[in-house]
Amino acid sequence: MKINITARKFKARDTLKEFIKDEVSALERFADDIIEAEVILSFQNQKESVKIAELIIRVPEHTLTATCESEDFEPSVRKCTEKIITQLKKRKTKRIKH
């Protein structure tokens, strides 16, 4: 799986990048056909205390997205991965039913 990390208007530190890679790599337990994962980190327009993480997962025939915000990037990324896990489980149950 290819993981792209984009930090808008700032430079992400290496520890944050490693944390993101670990969190996103854990998604492979729920779907082994993930092609690409893209993480976009940004601040809210006028408030720098609100940090936004957007996670885009590409699997065959689908693109799954989740956007979360909190006061720090780590909780935002963690919430996004939880949302994506829910979407992956739902996708899997739909595939099994059909």
The predicted structure's pLDDT at residue 81? 95
Residue 1 has pLDDT above 90, yes or no: no
The predicted structure's pLDDT at residue 92? 82
Supply the pTM of this predicted model: 0.86
Question: How many domains are contained in the chain?
Answer: 1
From residue 78, alpha-carbon distances to 82, 94, 95, 96 in Å are 6, 25, 26, 27
76: containing domain: 2-97
What DSSP state is assigned to residue 93? Answer: H
Q: What is the CATH number of the domain that holds 17?
A: 3.30.160.100
The region, left, alpha or beta by phi > 0 then psi within -120 to 50, assigned to residue 93 is alpha
- The candidate with the shortest Cα–Cα distance to 41, out of 9, 15, 66, 71, is 9
pLDDT tens-place string over residues 81-90: 999 999 999 9
pLDDT tens-place string over residues 37-72: 999 999 876 656 789 999 999 998 889 999 999 989
**Average predicted confidence (pLDDT) for the chain:** 89
Residues contacting 28, CB < 8 A, separation 6+? 1, 34
The predicted structure's pLDDT at residue 21? 94
- Token pair belonging to 84: 């994506």
